Chains A and B, each alone.
Chain A
Amino acid sequence: MAETSKQTISIREYPVDEHPDKNYLNHDKGILSWLITLDHKRIGLLYLGSITFFFFLGGVLALLLRTELLTPAQSILDADTYNQIFTLHGAIMIFLFIIPSIPAALGNFFLPMMIGAKDVAFPRLNLASFWIYVAGALFALFSIVTGAVDTGWTFYTPYSTETGTAVVSMTLGVFIMGFSSILTGINFIVTLHKLRSPGQAWGKMPLFLWSLYATAIIQILATPVLAITLLLLIMERVLGVGIFDPALGGDPILYQHFFWFYSHPAVYIMIVPAFGIISELISVFSRKTIFGYWAIALSSLAIAFIGFLVWGHHMFVSGQSELSSVVFSFLTFFVGVPTGIKIFNWVATLYKGSIDLKTPMLYALAFLFLFTIGGLTGIMIGALSVNVHLHDTYYIVAHFHYVMMGGTVIALLGGIHYWWPKMTGRMYNEVWGKITCAVIFFSFNMTFLPQFVMGSQGMPRRYFNYLEEFQGLHQFSTIGSYILGLGFVMMALYLAYSLFRGPKAPPNPWGARSLEWMTSSPPTHHNFEYTPVILHGPYDHHQPEHEFRMGLVSESKETHG
Chain B
Amino acid sequence: MSTSNHHTDDHLQHHFKDEDQQFESSKLGMWIFLVTEMLMFGGLFVAYIIYRAWHPDLFYLAAQELDAGLGALNTVVLIASSLTIALAIRSLQLDEFKKSIQYLSATLVLAATFLVIKYIEYTDKFAKGILPGGHYSYEGISHEMAANFFSIYYLMTGLHGIHVLLGMGLIGWMIIKVRKRSVHSRYFTPVENTGLFWHLVDIIWIFLFPLLYLID
Most B CB contacts (10 A, CB to CB) among A194, A221, A250, A559 go to: A194
| 0 or 1 for each of A221-263: is its CB under 8 Å from B? (1 = yes) | 1011101110110011001111100001111001000100000
A194→B43 contact, CB < 8 A: no
- In the complex, identify which listed stretch (B64-72, B88-96, B140-148) lies at the interface while the others stay far away: B140-148
A258 to B43, CA, bound (A): 8
* Given known contacts A122-B29, A559-B6, A194 and B151 CB-to-CB distance under 8 angstroms: no
Q: Is B7 an interface residue (CB 8 A)?
A: yes
| 0 or 1 for each of A329-343: is its CB under 8 Å from B? (1 = yes) | 000000000000000
B25→A232 contact, CB < 8 A: no
* Given known contacts A186-B32, A556-B6, A239 and B14 CB-to-CB distance under 8 angstroms: no
In the complex, which residues 52-102 of chain B have their Cβ closer than 8 Å to any Cβ of chain A? none
B24→A224 contact, CB < 8 A: no
Most A CB contacts (10 A, CB to CB) among B15, B18, B21, B145 go to: B15
* Given known contacts A186-B32, A224-B37, A254-B47, A239 and B15 CB-to-CB distance under 8 angstroms: no
Looking at the complex, which one of A38, A220, A229, A236 makes contact with B32 (CB distance below 8 Å)? A220
Q: Is B44 an interface residue (CB 8 A)?
A: yes
A186 contact set on B, CB distance < 8 A: 29, 32-33, 36
Looking at the complex, which one of A190, A526, A556 makes contact with B28 (CB distance below 8 Å)? A190
* Given known contacts A118-B15, A555-B6, A239 and B133 CB-to-CB distance under 8 angstroms: yes
* Given known contacts A195-B21, A224-B37, A241 and B132 CB-to-CB distance under 8 angstroms: yes
B117 contact set on A, CB distance < 8 A: none
A239→B151 contact, CB < 8 A: yes
B148→A248 contact, CB < 8 A: yes
Question: Closest chain B residue to A118 by CB distance?
Answer: B15
A559→B18 contact, CB < 8 A: yes
A540 to B148, CA, bound (A): 61
A249 to B3, CA, bound (A): 60
A243→B47 contact, CB < 8 A: yes
A194→B47 contact, CB < 8 A: no
Q: Is B215 an interface residue (CB 8 A)?
A: no
B44→A249 contact, CB < 8 A: no
Q: Is B200 an interface residue (CB 8 A)?
A: no
Question: Closest chain B residue to A216 by CB distance?
Answer: B32
A228→B32 contact, CB < 8 A: no
Q: Is A193 an interface residue (CB 8 A)?
A: yes
B16 contact set on A, CB distance < 8 A: 195
Query: What's the tally of chain B residues with a CB closer than 8 Å to chain A?
Result: 44
Q: Is B39 an interface residue (CB 8 A)?
A: yes
A240 contact set on B, CB distance < 8 A: 133-135
In the complex, which residues 27-43 of chain B have their Cβ closer than 8 Å to any Cβ of chain A? 28-29, 32-33, 35-37, 39-43
B40→A224 contact, CB < 8 A: yes
A194→B145 contact, CB < 8 A: no
B43 contact set on A, CB distance < 8 A: 224-225, 227-229, 232, 258
The number of residue pairs between A and B whose CB atoms lie closer than 8 Å in the complex comes to: 127
A240 to B13, CA, bound (A): 48
Q: Is B155 an interface residue (CB 8 A)?
A: yes
Query: What's the tally of chain A residues with a CB closer than 8 Å to chain B?
Result: 51
Question: Closest chain B residue to A238 by CB distance?
Answer: B133
Q: Is A123 an interface residue (CB 8 A)?
A: yes
Q: Is A29 an interface residue (CB 8 A)?
A: no
B134 contact set on A, CB distance < 8 A: 239-240, 242, 248
A561 to B24, CA, bound (A): 17
| 0 or 1 for each of A532-557: is its CB under 8 Å from B? (1 = yes) | 00000000000000000000000110
B25→A118 contact, CB < 8 A: no
* Given known contacts A186-B33, A220-B32, A228-B43, A243 and B151 CB-to-CB distance under 8 angstroms: yes
* Given known contacts A220-B32, A239-B132, A559 and B1 CB-to-CB distance under 8 angstroms: no
Question: Closest chain B residue to A258 by CB distance?
Answer: B43
A303 to B46, CA, bound (A): 24
* Given known contacts A119-B15, A190-B32, A559-B18, A242 and B133 CB-to-CB distance under 8 angstroms: yes
Q: Is B120 an interface residue (CB 8 A)?
A: no
Question: Closest chain B residue to A219 by CB distance?
Answer: B36
Q: Is B180 an interface residue (CB 8 A)?
A: no
A194→B155 contact, CB < 8 A: no
A242→B151 contact, CB < 8 A: yes
Looking at the complex, which one of A189, A190, A221, A241 makes contact with B133 (CB distance below 8 Å)? A241
Nearest 8 A-B pairs (CB), nearest first?
A240-B134, A228-B43, A241-B151, A224-B40, A118-B15, A239-B133, A240-B133, A224-B39
Q: Could you name 28 residue pairs across A and B whose Cβ atoms are closer than 8 Å?
A: A38-B1, A119-B15, A182-B36, A193-B25, A194-B24, A194-B25, A195-B25, A221-B39, A223-B36, A225-B39, A228-B41, A228-B42, A228-B43, A232-B43, A232-B47, A235-B151, A239-B134, A239-B151, A241-B133, A241-B155, A243-B148, A243-B152, A248-B148, A254-B50, A258-B46, A555-B6, A558-B17, A561-B18
> Residues of B with Cβ closer than 8 Å to A?
1, 3, 6-7, 13-18, 21, 24-26, 28-29, 32-33, 35-37, 39-44, 46-47, 50-51, 132-135, 144-145, 147-148, 151-152, 154-155, 159
Given contacts A112-B15, A193-B25, A194-B25, 10 further A-B contacts (CB under 8 A): A118-B15, A182-B36, A190-B28, A228-B40, A232-B43, A232-B47, A240-B133, A248-B147, A254-B50, A558-B17
